[in-house]
Structure 1
Amino acid sequence: MEPWQWDEVTWRRKVNKVRAGRSLRPKAWKNRARIAVALSFDSDHESNELRDGGESIGRMSQGQYGNRVGIPRILEVLRQANIPATFFVPAVVALLYPEEQQRVVDAGHEIGLHGWIHELNTKVPPADERDLHMRAAEVLERVTGIRPVGMRTPSWDFSAVTLQIQRELGLLYDSSLMADDDPYEILEDGEPTGIVELPVEWIRDDAVYFNMNRFAAHRPYTPPPAVLDIFRREFDRAYADGGLFLLTMHPHVIGYRSRIFILEELIRHIKTHPDVWFATHAEIANFVKV
């Protein structure tokens, strides 16, 4: 049937499969902070090319840049600022670069699930999706020594069974959906799940402003100062609201010499404000979960 032929029961069932439930934004954040700041980095590296069956040496070298240059540069910025962050890592990347993941953990940061090979969940049969997420959790635990408690689905692609798999994994939080600015509890078929959603948005993602593919029509480019201005405005409004400011970045995108200043300047700007709580995604989810 075409969508225009669906009866009300059908389209309501589709809409209500995964929904935002009660808001989990607290009256005050930890230590009476006015705002929670969650910086995150999706360490996709070569998996962006591999997940589509690609063999482009050039695109994989761009992914390797994320490991060789992007991650060290980001970790140094975070070290100098003395703030924690969360890194979402596909299992294939963790296997390619186990020493990178250990360095991230040793620096006090969190590592979360990000699929097996950055696959699109809606393109994978349900049984295979479950197997991939289960194996990914095992790999990250083996590589880092810590069981991940949160997931960001690759490309924020969420299938009809993703939430069931997250519940089976016993995850504390997800960070792939966009129904609010602030944390909320996820509902499945109208029922509370206990899983915290830390919402993302393409506006607060570096890749949409800079990514390009020379063999396709995908060639956006926004001047770095303009991206800094967007991120700063997002923070300023979140601060005024007393909410959550969550930013998604990628080592192979933000890590370049002409872009890393965006992260540096944004942190400096944030630190001019009193009562700011920089935290990992897990710390924030634990705080708001009641």
Structure 2
Amino acid sequence: MSTTEPDATATQSWRWPESQWRRHVEAVRAGRPLKPERWPDGARVAVALSFDSDHETIPLRDGHTSPGLLAQGEYGARVGAPRVLDLLARFGAPATFFMPAVSALLHPDEARSYTRDGHEIAVHGWIHERNTLLGAEDEKALVGRALDTLTDLTGQRPTGIRTPSWDFSDSTLRTILDLGFSYDSSLMADDEPYEILAAGRPTGLVEIPVDWIRDDAPYFTMDRYGAVRPHSRPRDVLEIWTDEFDAAYRSGGVFQLTLHPHVIGHRSRLIVLRELLDHIAGHPGVWFATHAELAQAVRAAIPPHEIPEHTS
């Protein structure tokens, strides 16, 4: 049973004994904060840009194969990703691209361009599957296959993962540890990186937290057959993200952003991303880092003798 799928008595959770609700809450928990006293080269703020290169895998995951839906994803590979890479190059900003393996197999040159241009490629599932609906063996098999696929295509073995559903099943944490990842970027318990606890025990796994506030999809997603409609003007979203960065800058923390080439890559939206990067680059002491570089920097806050060893 997945941690995110309620059992038959979930509607009567008020009947649960304390041991039961504590077990659910403590299964995966935020541990010690990992923000260092200072960032590399004396930087004041760390900026971690990420792009989920989902492309066609969203409709494919759900068994939808109409050319119209697939074309929306194809836009991300054909138009969005090249525009994003050009913009990042203009600012000299490395980023992390979380890419489903099927997306990488459909667009191998794109996957290789990420690492060739100095960016990081990281795991984002096999076909953007909903991992919370999978059994433990299937989930581990798909993540392992995705890890091997990205390694074979790019020659760079990913060290990080973002679950496609931004959530953990009962087996996700064990899978991540068994496969040797050094960080995850799927959870939302803090603004700053932290160590993940498993049932109260330190795991040594770094969490680089995300949040829907700092994601383009909730603001701009469109479903022609459903009620989901873009509800935000791009410049309104720019104001939110600018405020998020400014607060991170004042506190000396991390500004983490999650974008999608097929969403942010449209012209009116790319303009606000450029203006956001102009704003960020106009501040002294900004460290643009991949998620892997950020994880390495904050991992120093964990004494070596306290980092658990994990075996399959």
Q: TM-score, normalised by structure 2?
A: 0.92
Match status 1:139 vs 2:129: no
In structure 1, how many angstroms separate the alpha carbons of the residues matched to 2:231 and 2:57? 22
Match of 1:240 among 202, 226, 250: 250
Deviation at 1:217, TM superposition (A): 1.0
Taking the aligned partners of 2:222 and 2:78, their CA distance within structure 1 comes to 20
Deviation for aligned residue 1:209: 0.2
Q: Number of aligned pairs?
A: 290
Q: Report the equivalent of 1:50.
A: 60
Aligned to 2:310: none
Deviation at 1:10, TM superposition (A): 0.7
Unpaired stretches in structure 1, ≥5 consecutive residues:
none
Identify the residue that residue 29 of structure 1 maps to in structure 2: 39
Distance in 1 separating the partners of 2:154 and 2:183? 19
What secondary structure, in the 3-state scheme, does the structure 1 residue paired with 2:267 have?
Answer: coil
Distance 1:72 1:157 in 2: 29
Determine helix, strand or coil for the equivalent of 1:179.
coil
Aligned-pair identity in percent equals 58
Q: Provide, for residues 31-85 of structure 1, a one-character-per-residue CA deviation record: whole Å limited to 9, x for no partner.
A: 1111100000000000010111112211110100000000000000011111100
Distance (whole Å) between structure 1 residues aligned to residue 62 and residue 228 of structure 2: 16
Per the alignment, in what secondary structure is the counterpart of residue 218 of structure 1? coil
Structure 2 CA distance, aligned partners of 1:26 and 1:90?
31
For the residue of structure 1 that corresponds to 2:151, the secondary structure is helix
CA–CA distance in structure 2, aligned partners of residues 182 and 130 of structure 1 = 28
The 8 Å contact of residues 50 and 259 in structure 2, kept in 1 or not, is answered as: yes
Cα deviation for residue 160 of structure 1 reads 1.4
Alpha-carbon shift at residue 125 of structure 1 (Å): 1.3
Question: Secondary structure at the residue paired with 1:104?
Answer: helix
Equivalent residues in 2 for 1:172-183, closer than 5 Å: 172-183=182-193
Structure 1 residue aligned with 2:289: 279
Report 1:59-208 matches (<5 A): 59-208=69-218
Amino acid at match of 2:177: R
Per-residue CA distance 1:224-279 (angstroms, 9 max, x = gap): 10011110000000101110000000000000011101211111100111111000
1:286 Cα deviation after fit: 0.4
Structure 1 residue 101: deviation in Å? 0.6
Aligned equivalents of 1:111 and 1:221: distance in 2? Answer: 31
**For residue 25 of structure 2, what is the amino acid of its counterpart?**
V
Deviation at 1:149, TM superposition (A): 0.2
Matched residue type, 1:87: F
Query: Hey, what does 1:8 align to over in structure 2?
Result: 18
User: Which 4+ runs in 1 deviate beyond 3 A?
Assistant: none
Give the SS at the match of 1:155: coil
Partners of 1:52 and 1:278 lie apart in 2 by 35
Q: Once the two structures are superposed, what CA deviation does each residue of 1:65-122 show, in whole Å capped at 9, x if it has no partner?
A: 0000000000000111111000000010011111101111110000000000001111
How far apart are 1:3 and its partner, in Å?
A: 1.6
Q: Is the 8 A contact 2:131 2:165 kept in 1?
A: no
User: How far did residue 287 of structure 1 move?
Assistant: 0.7
- With normalisation by structure 1, the TM-score equals 0.99
